[in-house]
Amino acid sequence: MSEQQNEAKKIAGRRVIQEFVRDGMKLGLGSGTTSHFFVRELGKHVANGMKLTCTTTSRSTIDVAREVGIAITDPNDIGELDLTVDGPDEIDRQFNMIKGGGACLLWEKIIAHASRQMITVCDETKIVDRLGAFPLPVEVVQFAWKQTERMVARVLEEHRIEASIYRRMRDGQPVVTDSGNFILDCKCSAIVEPAPLEIELNRIPGVVENGLFTRESAGMVVGCFDGSSYVKM
């Protein structure tokens, strides 16, 4: 990842705080490098007296938040959130997204739905005309995962999507999510209709959640390589 891209992510995070975060809010903190930049920026505001109640979408974000002095509330104890801020792997201009590159898609979707509003924070490289270049993650239970994989392949085929599916591995071991599940990464041709695909993948019994987010984001805050940023709602 280039220094320029990291800078664009930081710029976007600062703009989110300026435009959307207010004292007293209940916030959902997203996962991934962009969200972590945002959380680090937020830590400076909390250190300066801003009062927030926060919960997170991954264990890794809990660690970052605590490092910068943001207390984390259990999601069961926070009630409805005002706002969740999270990053995409890909986002189109209608705010459909692929998420889950960091294997946190299940908690991310739960927290997004627990919020009155979700805002997506990203650098300009994440914006696409059509979803599908980034492999679509599908979180599946470990039991009979190869059977679930066959059913995922069938649903993708029914959507006329050509796909290669791999169980995600790291250091020679299967990746296990914060909820104890596996991730199937589906390298797909273009995803023309993400909304029905999201629903149909989730109807497969072994699928816990998939990385298509088609109803969650109300807008995006984009950091650009020239140092500017913009908000699109």
The DSSP code sequence of 184-202 is: EEEEES--S-HHHHHHHHH
Count of residues engaged in binding ligand 5RP, rule: CB under 6 A: 17
Candidates 20, 224, 18; CA nearest to 123 is 224
State yes or no: residue 13 binds ligand 5RP (CB under 6 A). no
State yes or no: residue 89 binds ligand 5RP (CB under 6 A). yes
State yes or no: residue 84 binds ligand 5RP (CB under 6 A). no
State yes or no: residue 221 binds ligand 5RP (CB under 6 A). no
Q: Please tell me the distance from the alpha carbon of residue 233 to that of residue 219, in angstroms, as a whole number.
A: 4
On whether 126 is known to bind a ligand per the annotation, the reply is yes
**5, 6, 33, 202: residue in contact with ligand 5RP (rule CB under 6 A):** 33
Question: Coil, helix or strand for 119?
Answer: strand
Q: Please tell me the distance from the alpha carbon of residue 140 to that of residue 209, in angstroms, as a whole number.
A: 7
Is 3 catalytic? The answer is no
- The kind and range of the H/E element at 209 are strand 207-210
State yes or no: residue 104 binds ligand 5RP (CB under 6 A). yes
Q: For residue 213, what are the contacts with CB-CB under 8 A and spacing of at least 6? A: 88, 96, 97, 98, 99, 108, 109, 112, 198
State yes or no: residue 100 binds ligand 5RP (CB under 6 A). yes
Question: Coil, helix or strand for 105?
Answer: helix
CB 61 within 8 A of CB 36: yes
Q: 3 or 23, CB closer to ligand 5RP? A: 3
On whether 87 is known to bind a ligand per the annotation, the reply is yes
Stretch that binds ligand 5RP, among 86-94, 162-170, 185-193, 214-222 (CB under 6 A): 86-94
Annotated binding site: 31-34, 86-89, 99-102, 126
Active site amino acids: 108
Question: Applying CB under 6 A, which residues contact ligand 5RP?
Answer: 30-35, 86-87, 89, 99-105, 108
